[in-house]
Structure formats: structure tokens, C-alpha cells
Amino acid sequence: MFCPKCGSILIPKKVDSKKVMACSSCGYSSKDVKNATITEDVYKQESKIEVAKKGAEILPKIDAECQNCKHDRAYYWTVQTRAADEAETKFLRCEKCGHTWRDYD
């Protein structure tokens, strides 16, 4: 039910052992409400999370030499580690040995 004065939703309230519908915005209150039933339905939506197989890399690759094993390909991603007006930091991870390092270009 909506308030006839301001259009807000009326909220059930007890006033002097009477059930009334009251507006929290403008203060409107309906007369005694008899045989009113207030119900609340809660729907719980279950979400399923799809998990990728462990070790499956979804990062892009770049030609970069690993300092650890000298392999020539690495995964990379960028993160804003400093102030917003400064360049991002590029992180690289060797696709062979998993060694991770930063590139401050």
C-alpha cells in the first residue's frame, strides 16, 4: 500500500493496540486495519561459481626473458601501485618456472 498524500510505502505499525498503516515520510496514518495479514517472501538465489582447473593460466603472454631460468616467454598483468598520475607497474611471471618479477618501464 502507498501513502495517498506523498506516495511513499506505508509501513505496518501498532498504535494503542490497533494495527495501522503509517507513512514514515509525511506522518499519514490509516484508520484501524482489521483482518490484515502482513507477509514477507524472501527468495534466495543460489549462484554457482565455475572454477577453472588449477594451473590454467588466463593471463596474456609476452616475450620477456626470465632472470631465473632464461626462458623467453612470460605471463603479465598490470597493477596501479603508485599514485594515479603515475604509470602502472607491470608484473611478469615466467611460464616455465613461475618466477615473478616487476617491470618498471
Catalytic: 88?
A: no
Catalytic: 86?
A: yes
Decide: 102 and 79 in contact? Cβ < 8 Å.
no
C-alpha cell at 93: 611471471
Instruction: Determine which one of 85, 88, 95, 105 is catalytic.
Output: 85
Instruction: Determine which one of 41, 46, 50, 86 is catalytic.
Output: 86
What is the bridge-based pairing of β-strands 73-79 and 89-94? Answer: antiparallel
DSSP state of 9: B
Residues designated as active site: 85-86
